[in-house]
Amino acid sequence: MEDRDPGVRPATTVVCRGRPAPAPGVSLNAPVTFASTFTADGDYVYGRSENPTWEPVEDILGDLEGGAAVLFASGMAAATATVSLLDAGATVVAPTGAYNGVHELLDEAAAAGRLTVRWRDSSDTAATIAALDGAAMLWIESPTNPLLDLADIPVLATAARERGAIVVCDNTFATPLLQRPLHEGADIVVHSVSKYLSGHSDLVLGACVTAPTERGREAHAKLVRHRLLGGAIPGPMEAWLAARGIRTLAVRLERASRNAAVLAALLAGHPGVQRVRYPGFGAMIAVEVRGGGVGADAVCQAARLISRSTSLGGVETQWERRRRYAAEPQTTPENLIRISVGIEDVEDVWADVRQALDAGGGTPG
Ligand SMILES: *Cc1c(COP(=O)(O)O)cnc(C)c1O
């Protein structure tokens, strides 16, 4: 891959980074390499240890976050690799509102006696800091999925590092275009690349990005090792699709964020809506509707345009009632609908939201 011009801005990085060095007749795009093995004595040996198709995504993501990226088979594989950095019996401080997969991962590790987990509301900075004594890791997710709570990353990171804890931040919701946790003191950023980065609801992939520090480099080597031995490697096709998807990240996010701001304001004025959670940036909204869980289900079902599906960060607007999953933490209200705002014409999305609220349980009562 070519040397990057260090001066470029993120919206240029996503377009220009991770391409073959230009030369007459050379493809603009890196090819997809389907290979379990490579002829001996070169840079590539075996498909579980390396594949050139992983590199464009790692290069782009590393540049965007300001660190070194390690691509994994999924966001949860990246989270699992990160948790594996802890010694047996270590203590983790983690957000009560963490993504349910991370919640279950840590809960099960705790139940098996491998870790101690102190769950704290990470928007409560004082409570989180008070829990840090003796902790080996602080896990941050901001905004959280699905409550959209925000953490004070610089303050928490400083407090954690003063106490010797490694600082991890799940940056899936904000993306590095809106928030760069490594610049705010985090040691490792975790991503579900399945979401905004790839952006088309067509693949599952994850990544860790480590800080350009001694601690970061140490973690990076261990994460690469975990990928090699754990075997949760990205498929070449997924990696290639992610590189293709990330090219449009800046324009997708800009449009989706603009749509989200419009929708959040309109939702707040609808009588069927009790509460709108919207952090003021990004393209995720959570609404609590009238009529409880039944009402929220009815609203979701009434959609004609909006996709009734889980996941987020795709070009299409999606929504779902989170508590339909048994694994969803009890802290998520029954009547909460998570909306991942897409890049459609916002008038059409609002028309569908409004008719669904009118048709479903979200009517005044
Ligand atoms: C989806 C998600 C994950 C898990 O990622 P997968 O790619 O589905 O494994 C982790 N964290 C957050 C915040 C997510 O939204």
Residues of the chain with pLDDT under 70: 1-6, 361-365
Atom of ligand 1 nearest to the CA of 77: 9
Q: What is the pLDDT of residues 235-267, one digit of tens each?
A: 999 999 999 999 999 999 999 999 999 999 999
Phi and psi at residue 227, in whole multiples of 5°?
-65, -40
End-to-end CA distance of the chain: 60
Gap from CA of 236 to ligand 1 centroid (Å): 20
**Residues in the chain, total:** 365
The pLDDT value given to residue 96 = 95
Evaluate whether 166 touches 138 at the Cβ level (below 8 Å). Answer: yes
Torsion of CA 308, 311, 312, 313, to 10 degrees: -130
Question: Does pTM top 0.85 for this prediction?
Answer: yes
Gap from CA of 52 to ligand 1 centroid (Å): 24
The two beta strands, 284-289 and 115-120, are unpaired
Q: What is the pLDDT of residues 152-171, one digit of tens each?
A: 999 999 999 999 999 999 99
Evaluate whether 357 touches 290 at the Cβ level (below 8 Å). Answer: no
Counting ligand 1 atoms within 8 A of each CB, the residue from 74, 139, 172, 238 with the most, and so the one to mutate, is 172
Q: Report whether residue 332 contacts ligand 1, using a CB cutoff of 6 Å.
A: no
Q: What is the pLDDT of residues 202-229, one digit of tens each?
A: 999 999 999 999 999 999 999 999 999 9
The pLDDT value given to residue 7 = 80
Counting ligand 1 atoms within 8 A of each CB, the residue from 150, 179, 194, 204 with the most, and so the one to mutate, is 194
Considering only the C-alpha atoms of the chain, give the largest distance between any 2 of them, rounded to a whole number of Å: 72
Q: Is 28 exposed, middle or buried (0-12, 13-18, 19+ CB in 10 A)?
A: exposed
What Å distances lie between residue 160 and 16, 153, 218, CA to CA?
A: 36, 10, 18
Report the C-alpha gap between 126 and 217 in whole angstroms: 30
What tokens does 112 get? 């098996």
